Amino acid sequence: MRLSKILTASLLLAAACYKPTYSSDEDAGKAFRCYATDNPACPAGLVCCVGELCGDALIDPVTNGPVKDNSGIPLEGSCVPPRAPSDMTLTPTAYWDFGVKGSYYTGLVNDPLLSGKDPDTGKWRCARKLEPNDMPGQEVGLGSQIPVDPNPTPGTAYEICPDESAPDLVDVDVFKFKLPTPTKVMVRVTYKVSYGDLDVALFRMAKDDSGVDRPQRVVADLTAVDNGCLEAPNLPAPGPYYVVVRGTNSPEKPATYTMNNYNIRVYGVSTPAGDSCVAKKDGGI
Ligand SMILES: [Ca+2]
Ligand SMILES: [Ca+2]
C-alpha cells in the first residue's frame, strides 16, 4: 500500500516535471523536438536523436549539459523510435560498413550549396526530403516489385546533406527493396564528383552470433569519379535489400564529409547479358 502511494506520487511528480521542448518536426511532420538533457527528453518508448547522435551521446560528459553546435547552441533533436540495433551509440556510418575506400577525388571542388542558409531566403539549403532515412526502419521504401528493364530515366532526385540542427554530421540515405524472384539488380547513382564524391553500396541482412540482423555488404562502388553503379548478378528472393548512399571523407579531412545532389535508379535486368556497370566496381564480396 505504502509502496503504491510512493509510486503514485513519483508518477505524478514525473508527470508534473515533464516539460520537454517540442513542436512538430519539419522533416517528418510527426516527431517531437527535444533536448537530451530534458528529463524525460521524449515520451515513453522514444529517444532523442540528432542525426546519428542519440540519448546520452547528446549530453556533454564534462558539463552534463547539452552537446552544442559550433555556434554554442545546444543541439535540438527529434523524438524517434530507438534505432536498430539496440546500440544507441552506433552511428549510421559505422552500421553500414562500406569497406575500405581506395581512391579519393583530388580535382577542383565546387560548392554544392547544401549547407548553411540561403542569403536570399534565409532558409537552410538542405531540403532534407524524406529524412531521417539513415537506418533500418527509417529507409525510403522502393517496394517489392522494382521495375525490370525500364526505359532509362533521370531517376529520383535526393541530396546528401546535413540537418540544420547538426550541420557537421554525415548524412546517409537508405533505400529498401524486396524481390519476387531471383533477379539481376542494377543501381545507378548520378552525380558530379566535383561537387562532392558519393559512395553507394548494396546490403542484405544476416544474423550475427547473437541472432541480431546486421548488414552484410553485397557490392559497393567506392570510386571517386562522376556517378556510381552497382551490379548484382543474381540476388536471391525475397530479400530485403538495402541500397545506401553516403557522403565520403578523406584521409586528409577525416571529419569532413562530402555533400551532393544525386539521382538514383534501382531496377532489375531480365537477361544476364543485359545492362551492366562495365567494370566499375570497388570492394564488395
Ligand atoms: Ca539521410
Ligand atoms: Ca563515388
Query: Does 240 sit behind a cis peptide bond, omega within 30 degrees of 0 on the bond before it?
Result: yes
pLDDT for 30: 59
Does 221 lie in the same domain as 127? yes
Q: 13, 48, 82 — which closes off a domain?
A: 82
Does 138 lie in the same domain as 38? no
Q: State the average pLDDT for the chain.
A: 84
Q: Read off the C-alpha cell for 190.
A: 548520378
Q: What is the pLDDT of residues 43-68, one digit of tens each?
A: 888 888 887 778 887 888 778 888 88
Where would I find the beta strands (DSSP E) of 46-153? 47-50, 53-54, 77-80, 140-141
Q: How far is the CA of 140 from the centre of ligand 1 (A)?
A: 9
How confident is the model over 33-37, as a mean pLDDT?
85
**Structural domain count, the chain:** 2
Q: What is the pLDDT of residues 61-111, one digit of tens each?
A: 778 888 887 778 888 888 888 766 544 467 888 899 999 998 999 999 999
Q: What is the strand order of the sheet 53-54 is part of? A: 33-34, 77-80, 47-50, 53-54
Counting ligands in written order, the one closest to the CA of 250 is 2
Q: Give CA–CA dist 89/92, Å, rounded.
A: 10
Where would I find the beta strands (DSSP E) of the chain? 33-34, 47-50, 53-54, 77-80, 140-141, 156-160, 172-177, 183-190, 198-207, 213-221, 228-235, 241-247, 260-269
Q: How far is the CA of 197 from the centre of ligand 1 (A)?
A: 16
pTM for this prediction: 0.68
Q: How far is the CA of 56 from the centre of ligand 2 (A)?
A: 33
Q: Read off the C-alpha cell for 104.
A: 579519393
Does 181 lie in the same domain as 210? yes
- For residue 245, how many C-alpha atoms fall within 13 Å in the half-sphere facing its CB? 32
With respect to residue 89, please indicate whether it lies within any of the assigned structural domains. Answer: no
Q: Give CA–CA dist 75/68, Å, rounded.
A: 5
Least confident piece of the model among 158-162, 185-189, 280-284? 280-284
CATH number, domain with residue 153? 2.60.120.380
Counting ligands in written order, the one closest to the CA of 139 is 1
Q: Read off the C-alpha cell for 17.
A: 516535471
Q: How far is the CA of 273 from the centre of ligand 1 (A)?
A: 33
For the cut 60, the answer to whether the pLDDT of residue 184 exceeds it is: yes
Q: What is the pLDDT of residues 142-181, one digit of tens each?
A: 999 999 999 999 999 999 999 998 888 889 999 999 999 9
pLDDT for 283: 45
At 254, which amino acid appears? P
Counting ligands in written order, the one closest to the CA of 140 is 1
- The residues that bridge with 80 in the sheet, in sequence order, are 47
pLDDT for 17: 46
Report the candidate in 11, 14, 50 with the shortest Cα–Cα distance to residue 31.
50
pLDDT for 10: 46
pLDDT for 281: 52
Does 148 lie in the same domain as 33? no
Does 155 lie in the same domain as 224? yes
pLDDT for 84: 62
Q: Give CA–CA dist 281/93, Å, rounded.
A: 20
For the cut 50, the answer to whether the pLDDT of residue 285 exceeds it is: no
pLDDT for 172: 96
Neighbour-count burial of 80, counting CB atoms closer than 10 A to its CB (0-12 exposed, 13-18 middle, 19+ buried): buried
Does 183 lie in the same domain as 46? no
Q: 82, 113, 129 — which closes off a domain?
A: 82
- How much of the chain, in percent, has pLDDT values that exceed 90? 54
Check residues 257 and 53 and name the one with the higher pLDDT.
257
Q: Read off the C-alpha cell for 132.
A: 531521417
pLDDT for 89: 63
- For residue 273, how many C-alpha atoms fall within 13 Å in the half-sphere facing its CB? 0
Does 214 lie in the same domain as 107? yes
* Whether 197 contacts 104, CB under 8 Å: yes
Q: 50, 82, 114 — which closes off a domain?
A: 82
At 8, the pLDDT band (50, 70, 90 cuts) reads very low
With respect to residue 51, please indicate whether it lies within any of the assigned structural domains. Answer: yes
DSSP 66: B
Check residues 252 and 118 and name the one with the higher pLDDT.
118
Does 203 lie in the same domain as 269? yes
Domain holding 174, by residue range, is: 98-285
pLDDT for 211: 86
Counting ligands in written order, the one closest to the CA of 222 is 2
Neighbour-count burial of 175, counting CB atoms closer than 10 A to its CB (0-12 exposed, 13-18 middle, 19+ buried): buried
With respect to residue 30, please indicate whether it lies within any of the assigned structural domains. Answer: yes
pLDDT for 68: 82
Q: Give CA–CA dist 206/192, Å, rounded.
A: 33
